[in-house]
Structure 1
């Protein structure tokens, strides 16, 4: 269980790094006329992602979930792949990547990197991690609850993002 706690804490550290990048990118975007949308759902997103990390540790410990090697190692690989995809998204979008929806009017859509393959690859990474991280140590209730709540939140988020991109470019996203 100690190594699992270390994994969850490493993911939490990665989230802190994301927030630092997002803060820098928010300043960059606002200096160029960036407009933020979707402020109302952002606190729910932060709460959900925090609950995922806490839920992983609490469920594994309190429910005494066992580490099942075949499942656990496979899910650990998915967690690592999700981190790779997330940072590929961050690198591809550069200053335009954010945890918030902040769009600089007039900039064209990014169509390189993972965006040439998927419309919202970062959300694929989030969904994969939300399922895999809890299942590394058998926390299936956390995985299920996160997946359902994340699906609802992503429906709101993607609509918000698409509307903001359309508004900023004048062309349907």
Structure 2
């Protein structure tokens, strides 16, 4: 069932991509094709994680809008594909040329960081903000430096794709609406973890950074 749902969502994304190539006068270039392959692969993995990342039925869920950051992120990327595919129809000039390798490095680094973060969390990875009676505070691996490295990975990945597609309007949406959604998710998550772990989490928070080492 999980594979079927993931393939359906992937198929819908590829159908949108084919529609863009059909109605646009612009033939997809190497950047469009590379971004399509990269994002489609990541989209499939993320859908599978959403299906797998569920806490037990006895868990407590926090923040009814805590997954809005993912929705806004995916909408931003789809908008970037539409913007480039239709040759930037929104009366906003495209972003300055960004070497393909720069976007790919950001994207690849983000996907890798998210993978390592989720692997380190193990069975405690969930897509909603949920806590259980046997919840453990993970402090090893990348969590020794960052409290939310998987979100850092998402930010890098989505930014990389948007920069590759040079969409000004998509980047603006991601920065103006998406970033606050990430910060809201972090606030909900840290409030929940503070309730569960008390002073232990306060000390951990004082010794680490939320998203960016030495900055935030």
- Cα deviation per residue 1:34-78 (whole Å; 9 max; x = unaligned)? 211112343x3342133023112111112356994x522111111
Runs of 4+ in 1 over 6 A off after TM superposition: none
Identify which of 39, 42, 45 aligns with 2:64.
Answer: 39
Ranked by relative contact order (alpha carbons within 8 Å, sequence separation 6 or more), the top structure is 1
Question: Structure 1 or 2: larger helix share?
Answer: 1
Q: Aligned partners of 2:76 and 2:200: how far apart in 1? A: 33
* Deviation of 1:106 (Å): 4.7
Aligned twin of 1:165: 193
Which residue number in structure 2 is paired with residue 58 of structure 1?
82
CA distance in 2, matches of 1:108, 1:14: 25
What are the ranges of 5 or more consecutive residues in structure 1 without an aligned counterpart? Answer: none
Structure 2 residues not aligned, in runs of 5+: 1-31, 89-93, 202-216
Pairwise CA distance, 1:148: 2.3
If the length of structure 1 is used for normalisation, what is the TM-score? 0.83
* 2:51 counterpart of 1:20: yes
Correspondent of 1:154 among 182, 192, 212? 182
Task: From the superposition, tell whether residues 3 and 110 of structure 1 become closer, same or farther in structure 2 (CA, over 3 Å).
Answer: same
Instruction: Give TM-score, length-normalised by structure 2.
Output: 0.68
Task: Choose 1 or 2 for highest CA Rg.
Answer: 2
Q: CA distance change for structure 1 residues 111 and 172 in 2, over 3 Å: closer, same or farther?
A: closer
User: What SS does the corresponding residue of 1:30 show, helix, strand or coil?
Assistant: coil
Q: How does 1:1-173 map to 2 (within 5 A)?
A: 1-22=32-53, 26=54, 29-31=55-57, 33-42=58-67, 44-63=68-87, 68=97, 71-171=99-199, 173=201
* Cα distance in 1 between the residues matched to 2:121 and 2:60: 17
Higher mean displacement: 100-109 or 151-160: 100-109
**Once superposed, what is the RMSD of the aligned Cα atoms?**
2.2
Q: Report the number of matched residues.
A: 165
